[in-house]
Amino acid sequence: MTEVLKALSDPNRRKILRVLGSGELNAGDIGHNFDLTPPTLSHHLSVLKKADLIRVRRDGTQLIYSLNTTVMQDAAAAILDFIPQEKLQTKEEQS
């Protein structure tokens, strides 16, 4: 869980996850959404992969990245465990 929280602490990595939420992309396609150098983007992808938040598969010479939704759901559930149930119920009642 520590790796997941570390990965989520950076706004660029959170944006990468949002971009991948729409489907699989290669690094070049991901990079079009950012003003980052290729080595910086590669570092962010590496951190996300180490945290198991993204998956990588090879398609010919390209690496294709996708969101690991299982880990994202587990992380969201773990984070919600920190919020007292009363506060969650109050928010739901306000909606």
The values of phi and psi at residue 82, to 5°, are: -80, -15
The values of phi and psi at residue 33, to 5°, are: -90, 0
Round to whole Å and give the CA distance between 72 and 4.
Answer: 9
Is pLDDT at 1 greater than 60 in this prediction? Answer: yes
The CATH fold assigned to 2-94 is Arc Repressor Mutant, subunit A (1.10.10)
Question: What is the pTM assigned to this prediction?
Answer: 0.78
pLDDT, tens digit (0-9, with 9 covering 90-100), for 23-79: 999 999 999 999 999 999 999 999 999 999 999 999 999 999 999 988 878 877 877
Q: Domain limits of the chain? A: 2-94
Query: What CA–CA distances, in Å, run from 29 to 24, 56, 60, 66, 77?
Result: 10, 14, 16, 12, 30
